[in-house]
Structure 1
Amino acid sequence: MAVSAVAQESAGDKAAPIKLQLNKTETAGEACRITMVVDNSRGAGLKTYKVDLFAFDTDGVAQKRVAVELAPLPPHKTTVKIFDFPGIACGKVGRILLNDVLACDGGDGAREACLERTETESKAGIPFDR
């Protein structure tokens, strides 16, 4: 029975969402500083979780691209990560797009599976989507 329960938990971990919440933005010099809440509270740990993000201006034109490493993500844990979009003021950002997951190591390990599991939301007043 114990083996069966562990196998079921592992299977559940693979499908568990990774929730990225754009929580806060603030101007930091000539950059827009992003506070991102990464909710991996239902999933397996990840050693690598690198995302490709684009900032669009208020007219919908792509302005800045950043690749951000959000790992390590401990299993069943929520973490906060802070990073900058250099060269763009937060007031000029009209939308942020999760363009892709560039690397994902741990859990089921497949980059495509991590992209599929990733959900986005925003509390910062700027849309954040995939």
Structure 2
Amino acid sequence: MVIRALIAAFLVVASATASAQAGGIEVELNKLEPVEGACRAYLVTQNLTDSNYENVQLDVVMFDNDGIVARRLAVQIGPMAQNKTSIKVFDIKNLACQDIGQLLLNDVIDCRDDQGVRNDCLSLLSVSQRGNVPFIK
């Protein structure tokens, strides 16, 4: 009987941990839009975690159509409230949208939630895209 109770308790804890981590943070490259002297990128973010993030800054690399690095930017997507969808807009200067072949989420530069600095944010992030330009991690 004690073993069953221990197994049940373990399953409850494991399930709660998996649920908390399963949500994560989704970042979608929604569209690229030409603007004068730049390409404007629209990111839709969803914080599906139980944490409020004070700061989330991403290291994003743009590749040209030949796979050559064209630009590297620090992109601020925080603050992010828990269970909230937001849109973040940034300009990629001196690079035309049609010259962008792919975006790479290279790393997380800074990530802080209401408990302080987090070192696991890259693993919490998932990326996707709506258009023809791949957004990979």
Partner residue of 1:30? 37
Give 1:127's match in structure 2, choosing from 124, 131, 134.
134
Q: Aligned to 2:119, what secondary structure does the other structure show? A: helix
Quote how far apart the aligned CAs of 1:13 are. 3.6
The offset of 1:41, in angstroms, is: 2.9
Matches within 5 A, 1:31-46: 31-46=38-53
1:30 positional shift: 1.5
Amino acid at match of 2:94: G
* Mapping of residues 6-17 of structure 1, within 5 Å: 12-17=19-24
* Cα RMSD after superposing both structures: 2.2
Report how many residues are paired.
Answer: 124
Q: Supply the distance in 2 between the matched residues of 1:9 and 1:81 (Cα, whole angstroms).
A: 30
> In the alignment, which residue of structure 2 is the partner of 1:98?
105
**How far does residue 91 in structure 1 lie from its aligned partner after superposition?**
0.2
Using structure 1 for the length normalisation, give the TM-score.
0.86
**Deviation digits for residues 85-120 of structure 1 (CA, Å, limit 9, x no counterpart):** 111000000000001000000056554310011000
Q: Unaligned regions of 5+ residues in structure 1, if any?
A: 1-7
Write the letter of the residue equivalent to 1:97.
Answer: L
Return the alpha-carbon distance in structure 2 between the equivalents of residues 110 and 12 of structure 1: 21
Contact 1:13–1:107 (8 Å) recurs in 2: no
Equivalent residue in structure 1 for 2:119, among 99, 112, 115: 112
Does structure 1 conserve the Cα–Cα contact (< 8 Å) formed by 2:21 and 2:49?
no
Distance, in Å, in 2 between the alignment partners of 1:12 and 1:108 is 19
**Pair member with larger Rg:** 2
Quote how far apart the aligned CAs of 1:38 are. 0.4
After superposition, the C-alpha distances for 1:20-48 in whole angstroms (9 at most, x for unaligned) are 00001001111110000001134411000
